[in-house]
Amino acid sequence: MKILVTGAAGYIGSHTCRLLTDSGHQVYGYDNLSRGHREAFSRATGGRLLIEGDLLDTLQLKEALQQLEIEAVVHFAAFGLVGESVKNPEMYHRNNVEGSASLLHAMHEASVRLLVVSSTTAIYGEPKTMPISENSPAAPINPYGQSKWDVECLLQQACEHNGLGFAALRYFNAAGAAPDGMLGEDHRPETHLIPIVLQVALGQRDRIQIFGDDYPTPDGTCVRDYVHVNDLADAHLKAVNTLTPGESIQVNLGSGIGTSVLEIVKHARHVTGHPIPAEMAGRRCGDPPLLIADNSKAQTVLGWTPKYSSLDSILTSAWRWHQKHPHGYQAT
Ligand code: UFG
């Protein structure tokens, strides 16, 4: 299939481009490179066409879809930081919601009717029941989660009225790196737990601050469901093959296993052989105590089973990437 991937130079985008390419799809990237890395896309696809463009440029998107005879779009391009979204809600609405509306319009004009879109556990807010199934009500508690829920609602309308076929993949905590160390996580600034812990092991930071140890969880620190980026990529491949015009699917993508912040730090000490000093700090605003996926629907609907998402596989692959690329893609 000829597939346009927006946000193709980003973390999950680049891993997915690699798998789609390796599986025989013709992948074209679309990225404004505001947060992604050209090198990531180039490594992922062996140098296929990357169009540098913004989601809000509807005309450029439409021309790309038409000229490349695109059959399906995989849409990653979005901002994804909760804290940033609280400070700049309008930026998240513009980039994530209006950007997706622009893409949808371009697809409509170019008669492209199949779409896989990144969504997030943040649409559920602080669910009352665990693990979280797709039946949990959407109740976002921050502008990032709201923006992704708005996108899902927009797509549902396009599905019901315009024959769009889409899959909304609701990620839990994406983590890990390509096992061969070629692709990995490189955010600037970095705010995610695992890369920060590994930056301590590399000597780039003095210590990890643990944001809160008084949560109602077994060790008092927040519990998350970490899912390997290669497993996420695999779900996109499966979703592309499942898309049907006029039908929508929504699935949670998590390992189904909860891991606390302290467990991550302890396991990272084991993997890296570094003491990784930690200090307790206050809670980070907006952090739910516990987020664990019920992934049974993804197994049933997509035939998806996480294969790389053990804590050991996540931390070992991430550590390999960080050792090989202590400054991310920059120094390559
Ligand atoms: N944490 C620390 N110290 C740090 C960084 C993080 O203790 O230096 C803690 C956080 O407080 C949280 C856990 O580690 O409890 C995980 O934090 P991350 O920033 O790695 O990930 P989040 O759970 O905040 O965010 C992820 C995705 C978002 C998504 C969100 C939904 O990255 O895109 O889950 O809750 F919106």
Q: Kindly report, residue by residue over 299-319, the tens digit of the pLDDT.
A: 999 999 999 999 999 999 999
Take residue 280 and report the two structure tokens written for it: 């307790």
Q: What is the distance of C-alpha 255 from the center of its chain?
A: 14
pLDDT at 285 over 90: no
Q: Which helix or strand (DSSP H or E) is residue 30 part of?
A: strand 26-31
Cα(231) to centroid(ligand 1), Å: 19
Shortest CA distance to 259 belongs to which of 213, 214, 209, 224? 224
Q: How far is the CA of 287 from the centre of ligand 1 (A)?
A: 7
The whole-model pTM stands at: 0.98
The sign of the dihedral angle between the CA atoms of 216, 222, 224, 226 is: negative
pLDDT tens per residue, range 42-67: 999 999 999 999 999 999 999 999 99
The CB of 123 under 6 Å from ligand 1? The reply is no
- Which residue minimizes the CA distance to atom 5 of ligand 1? 193
> Does the CB atom of residue 80 touch ligand 1 within 6 A?
yes
Q: How confident is the model at residue 280 (pLDDT cuts 50, 70, 90)?
A: very high
Query: What residue owns the CA closest to ligand 1's atom 29?
Result: 122
The one-letter code for the residue type at 48 is: R
pLDDT surpasses 70 at 219? yes
14: helix, strand or coil? helix
Ligand 1 close to Cβ of residue 263 (< 6 A): no
Per residue in 24-42, pLDDT tens?
999 999 999 999 999 999 9
The domain locations on the chain are: 2-175+227-253, 193-225+256-292+308-331
Tell me the catalytic residues.
144
Q: What is the pLDDT of residue 281?
A: 97
Phi, psi of 251, deg, nearest 5: -135, 145
The token duo for 272 is: 């890296």
CATH topology of domain 2-175+227-253: Rossmann fold (3.40.50)
Residues in the chain: 332
In this structure, which long-range contacts are made by residues 132-140, counting pairs with CB atoms below 8 Å and at least 24 apart in sequence? Answer: 132/252, 132/291, 132/292, 132/293, 132/294, 133/252, 133/294, 133/296, 133/297, 134/170, 134/250, 134/251, 134/252, 134/294, 134/297
Cβ-contact 281, 209 below 8 angstroms: yes
DSSP string across 174-218: EE---TTSSS----SS---HHHHHHHHHTTSSS-EEEE-S-SSST
Is the pLDDT at 172 greater than 70? The verdict is: yes
pLDDT tens digits along 245-274? 999 999 999 999 999 999 999 999 999 999
* pLDDT given for residue 186 in this prediction: 97
Going by pLDDT thresholds of 50, 70 and 90, the confidence category of residue 330 is confident
Domains 2-175+227-253 and 193-225+256-292+308-331 share a fold: no
CATH 3.90.25.10 fits 193-225+256-292+308-331, yes or no: yes
